Structures are given as structure tokens and as C-alpha cells.
């Protein structure tokens, strides 16, 4: 970690430079006046104005000389700072603070500090990604290993073996889903997705999103109440579809058996909004505060399927497509997501 210079030392150094400059200017002024008198350019019989002018000329010349020297010295110090900063970056040390630089080096210094900041943020994001991902991988891998050991022991009935194999398949599917979701979120966060917008039928996209999750809502005997008519929007259909699927999946997961999930489209002042509402368990204050965090799950017992990346992905896509998302939720009363799509 780089050490910061104490501001007191900097102020003392500047004060010393100022005092030395004044002293040197006065001495140089006296020296110039003395030379002029000695050479006869100025005589003691001449008026004091001429002598004073010579003195002032000497002082100004000395001050300019001092400022030139100090600027030269500052440029050398700044060049050394920039060289040291680039060497630190090349070693993977992104804690860079160049301080105040002369105007010639100011833009270079700002560019180096910006690059160092971005590299440091990228390094932190990479570390967070590895830590979070490895933590999330651990649970399904441990489960698969445990069930495989039980089957390998050979002390199970055929029914028990089938049940454990079913668990292994389920956890394997969870691993695949976790990996795909994590990679997509990583691409979104690092801005490595090219967003191409086009006009498309929003109602058709919503129908496909609902049908994608049909096995899930049929399994819980959930009624889907859809009312979206026909409307056209301009956006990225693939990413917008992912938003609808993730929000709808969240509504189905936290709905009760025989519950109801509504999907509605409204248009007001040229703005199109999609509302996905459920009458499920709702969210407490902590869940509402953290629902868009990576790997956060309201069901801490992990009895509910999912990997905690669905709404985090929704948030990143919303930022990318400039969607406005509003969430209203009450415990035991359900949750309502409203997704406003920007007009052209």
C-alpha cells in the first residue's frame, strides 16, 4: 500500500521555498545594483529612481530564475511519479495516487489514475466472482458426492438407488443452471454483451416467456392470468425475455399451491409497462433491500429451487436497456413487479 505524504511537510517545504526565493531576489537585486554602480552605469549622484529600478530589475530576474528552477524540479519529480506509477501497475499494484501535477503532466496523470482505478475494480470483481461462485458450487457438489457414495456402497434398495440418482440429476441440473447464469451475469457486468435493438411484438414475447415456465406453474397448479393485447416495442428481445422469465419464475417459486400469477401490459403517456404480480408469501424488509444482490435467496433453507442470480441478472439487464423497475410487496399478501420499457 502506498504511503501518503503528510500535508504539513508539503506546506513547510513551500514556505521555505518562498522565503528563500525572497531572500535570493533581494540579494540578487543588491548584486545587480552594486555591479551597475561599479561599472559606472549607475552613479551615486544619479537619482534614486534609477537605482531603485535596477534593484527591482534584479529582484524580478531572481524570482523568475527561482520559479524556472522550481518548475524544472517539479517536472522532474512528476515524471518520476508517473514512471513509478506505471511500474506499480505493471506489477499488479493498483493503489495509485499521483497528487497534484504540473499542467504538462496533469492529463497523463489523470489517465493513469483512471486506468489504475478500473484495473483495481476489475481485480476486486474477479476476486468476488471467484469467491461467490466457488461457494455456490460447493453445496451441489457435496450433495452429488454424498449420494454417489451411498449408491456405490451397494447397500440400497432399487427404489432408494433411483431416488438418490434422481437427487444427483437434480443437483447436476442445478450446477448447469448456476454456471450458465453466473457466466451470463459476468458478461453483463463486464459490458461484453453487444445490445442490438429492433422492433418486435411484446405480446408474443410474453406468451413465449409464460410457456417456457409452463412445467413450473402447472406443477403447483398456478393460474396464469394474462392480459396484454397486441403491442410493439423497440428493445433487445433476447435480454427483455430473460427479464420476464426471471421475474415470472420468481413469482411462481414464491406463490402458494393453487395460487395465481398475473401478467398485464398497460400503456400510458406513450410508455409501456409490464406488470407481473403474485399472491404468494411476499417479502419482508430485508428481502426487499437485498433481492437484487448476487446469490441472495429469501429461502435460506434452500428448499426453493434457484441459485440467487435471477433478480441480480434482471437488475443488470434493466441498467443496460434503461428499464425502470418498481417493486411493491407485503408479507403474506404477494409481490408486484412493474417493468417500464422506455419509448423510442
Per-residue pLDDT of the chain (344 residues; tens, 9 = 90+): 344 444 444 545 655 666 666 666 666 666 666 665 666 655 555 455 555 565 566 566 666 666 666 666 666 676 666 667 666 666 666 566 655 554 555 566 666 667 666 777 777 766 766 766 676 677 678 878 888 888 888 788 888 888 888 888 877 877 877 777 777 777 777 776 778 889 999 999 999 999 988 988 999 999 999 988 788 899 999 899 989 999 999 999 899 999 999 999 998 887 899 999 999 999 999 888 988 887 777 765 445 556 678 898 899 999 989 999 999 999 989 999 999 998 76
CB-based contact 344:234 (threshold 8 Å): yes
**Structural fold of domain 130-189:** Helix Hairpins (1.10.287)
Closest CA to 237 of 270, 201, 186: 201
C-alpha separations of 301 from 144, 304, 305 in Å: 18, 8, 10
Distance separating alpha carbons of residues 151 and 72, to the nearest angstrom: 78
Sequence-distant (≥ 6) Cβ neighbours of residue 319 within 8 angstroms: none
pLDDT of residue 172: 83
Q: What is the pLDDT of residue 326?
A: 94
Q: How high is the pLDDT of residue 7?
A: 44
Q: What is the pLDDT of residue 104?
A: 52
User: Which SS3 state, helix, strand or coil, does residue 223 take?
Assistant: strand
94, 95, 128, 202, 269 from 123: Cα distances, Å: 9, 12, 9, 39, 44
- For 5, which DSSP code? P
Q: Give the pLDDT of residue 3.
A: 41
The CATH code of domain 198-341 reads 3.30.565.10
Going by the DSSP 8-state scheme, the letter that residue 128 receives in this structure is H
**Cβ neighbours around 335 below 10 Å, total:** 25
The pLDDT, as a whole number, for residue 229 is 79
Domain ranges of the chain: 7-93, 130-189, 198-341
Nearest to 140 by CA among 168, 161, 103: 168
Contact, 42 vs 33, CB < 8 A? yes
Amino acid at each position: 500500500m502506498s504511503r501518503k505524504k503528510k500535508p504539513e511537510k508539503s506546506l513547510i517545504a513551500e514556505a521555505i521555498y518562498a522565503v528563500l526565493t525572497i531572500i535570493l531576489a533581494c540579494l540578487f537585486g543588491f548584486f545587480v545594483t552594486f555591479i551597475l554602480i561599479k561599472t559606472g552605469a549607475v552613479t551615486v549622484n544619479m537619482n534614486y529612481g534609477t537605482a531603485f529600478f535596477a534593484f527591482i530589475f534584479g529582484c524580478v530576474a531572481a524570482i523568475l530564475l527561482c520559479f524556472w528552477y522550481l518548475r524544472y524540479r517539479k517536472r522532474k519529480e512528476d515524471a518520476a511519479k508517473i514512471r513509478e506509477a506505471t511500474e506499480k501497475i505493471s506489477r499488479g499494484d493498483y493503489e495509485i495516487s499521483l497528487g497534484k501535477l504540473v499542467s504538462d503532466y496533469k492529463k497523463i496523470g489523470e489517465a493513469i489514475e483512471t486506468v489504475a482505478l478500473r484495473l483495481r475494480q476489475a481485480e476486486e470483481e474477479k476476486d468476488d466472482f471467484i469467491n461467490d461462485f466457488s461457494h455456490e458450487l460447493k453445496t451441489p457438489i457435496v450433495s452429488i458426492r454424498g449420494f454417489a457414495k451411498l449408491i456405490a456402497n451397494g447397500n440400497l434398495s432399487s427404489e432408494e438407488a433411483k431416488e438418490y440418482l434422481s437427487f444427483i440429476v437434480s443437483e447436476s441440473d442445478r450446477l448447469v443452471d448456476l454456471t450458465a447464469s453466473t457466466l451470463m451475469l459476468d458478461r453483463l457486468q463486464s459490458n461484453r454483451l453487444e445490445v442490438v435493438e429492433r422492433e418486435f411484438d411484446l405480446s408474443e414475447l410474453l406468451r413465449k416467456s409464460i410457456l417456457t415456465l409452463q412445467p413450473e406453474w402447472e406443477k403447483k397448479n398456478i393460474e396464469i392470468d394474462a392480459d396484454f393485447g397486441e403491442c410493439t416495442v423497440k428493445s433487445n428481445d433476447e435480454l427483455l425475455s430473460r427479464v420476464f422469465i426471471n421475474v415470472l419464475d420468481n413469482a411462481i417459486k414464491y406463490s402458494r399451491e393453487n395460487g395465481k400469477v398475473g401478467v398485464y401490459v398497460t400503456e400510458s403517456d406513450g410508455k409501456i409497462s409490464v406488470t407481473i404480480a403474485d399472491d404468494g408469501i411476499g417479502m419482508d424488509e430485508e428481502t426487499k433491500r437485498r433481492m437484487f444482490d448476487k446469490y441472495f435467496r429469501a429461502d435460506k433453507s434452500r428448499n426453493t429451487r434457484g441459485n440467487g442470480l435471477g433478480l441480480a441478472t434482471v437488475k443488470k439487464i434493466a441498467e443496460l436497456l434503461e428499464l425502470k423497475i418498481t417493486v411493491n410487496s407485503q408479507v403474506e399478501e404477494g409481490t408486484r413487479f412493474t417493468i417500464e420499457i422506455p419509448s423510442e
